Amino acid sequence: MALQDVCKWQAPDTKELSLCLPPAGSWAVPRGCDPQTFLQTQGPSLAHGTTTLAFRFRHGVIAAADTRSSCGNYVACPASLKIIPVHRHLLGTTSGTSADCATWYRVLQRELRLWALREGHLPSVASAAKLLSAMMSRYRGLDLCVATALCGWDRSGPALFYVYSDGTCLQGNIFSVGSGSPYAYGVLDRSYHYDMSIQEAYALACCAVARATHRDAYSGGSVDLFHVRESGWEYVSRSDVCTLYTELQELPEPDQELKAEDQELEAEAEASQTHLEPATPPRAGESGELFLGPREETPEDSRMPAETETP
């Protein structure tokens, strides 16, 4: 491959056998056993417990993930960061084995940096996804587990790719990865449309992850929310799922929201008086209030209520 030759990147040599140690990149299995079937029957159960999602819309790409790292029944870390920045305009959500994800992202960061130095500009998200999937596909069958969504903004606008460690590389508008993904997909498919406003998108992402963590045992903790814009990525918020879920329960049904759209001003006036009801939102974007500590009385659309920290 052209780029791999230029970068002098080499797949490990898996043909050498040593007497006691397993060959590099494989499990120590009894002779004559195929590693994959052995693992499935006898090996440790690597639970890929997580809920991550990403979707692209007019104003960029949203990436959200829970923060629970589980190892079987044990919560190894309740506040881990599952969304890894690659460069200013590219993020990756990670799922699968955390160690594999972390390592491969560092490799991808290095390769993209070298590319940028040689060519004078960063490659497109499609190139980055292709490169990552090509590098990982050399380890196919050796139980690498990296399921990631690359979210970025390049010359073609917002871009989203799903890459799996068997070499799959798919382009799409919505991806959710992990054990909690079925629940997240349910919520996403209902409310997603390309022309959402930014507030609607934030609300949708948090809602989807929160509802998934409610039902999936391996997801929980908090929701990390990132937004990739034309100017680069932004860490929007980290909100605890329990608080989020309670607030979601108190929201009116979406059907009622549609009716309320007709009575905009009256609804806003009412909402400013009742603190518990998070404003029968004339537009779903108002639920951006969920992230605020102290609740503001008269929400204004032009303001961005969510904290925008850029670490």
Binding stretches for another protein (CB under 8 A): 1-4, 119, 123-124, 126-127, 129-131, 134, 155
Radius of gyration, alpha carbons of the chain: 22
Given the complex with another protein, which of 119 and 262 has the nearer CB atom? Answer: 119
Given the complex with another protein, which of 161 and 218 has the nearer CB atom? Answer: 161
* Burial grade of 242 (CB within 10 A; 0-12, 13-18, 19 or more): middle
Least distance (Å) from another protein to the CB of residue 7?
A: 10
How far is the CA of 207 from the CAs of 116, 154, 212, 284, 303, in angstroms?
A: 37, 27, 8, 12, 20
Q: Is 50 annotated as catalytic?
A: yes
Distance (Å, rounded) from C-alpha 4 to C-alpha 133?
12
Given the complex with another protein, which of 62 and 129 has the nearer CB atom? Answer: 129
Least distance (Å) from another protein to the CB of residue 161?
A: 10
37, 41, 50, 310: the catalytic one is 50
Tokens of 157: 């606008």
Least distance (Å) from another protein to the CB of residue 126?
A: 4
Distance (Å, rounded) from C-alpha 304 to C-alpha 105?
31
Given the complex with another protein, which of 117 and 276 has the nearer CB atom? Answer: 117
Given the complex with another protein, which of 48 and 130 has the nearer CB atom? Answer: 130
Least distance (Å) from another protein to the CB of residue 253?
A: 43
Distance (Å, rounded) from C-alpha 249 to C-alpha 265?
24
Least distance (Å) from another protein to the CB of residue 227?
A: 25
Catalytic residues: 50
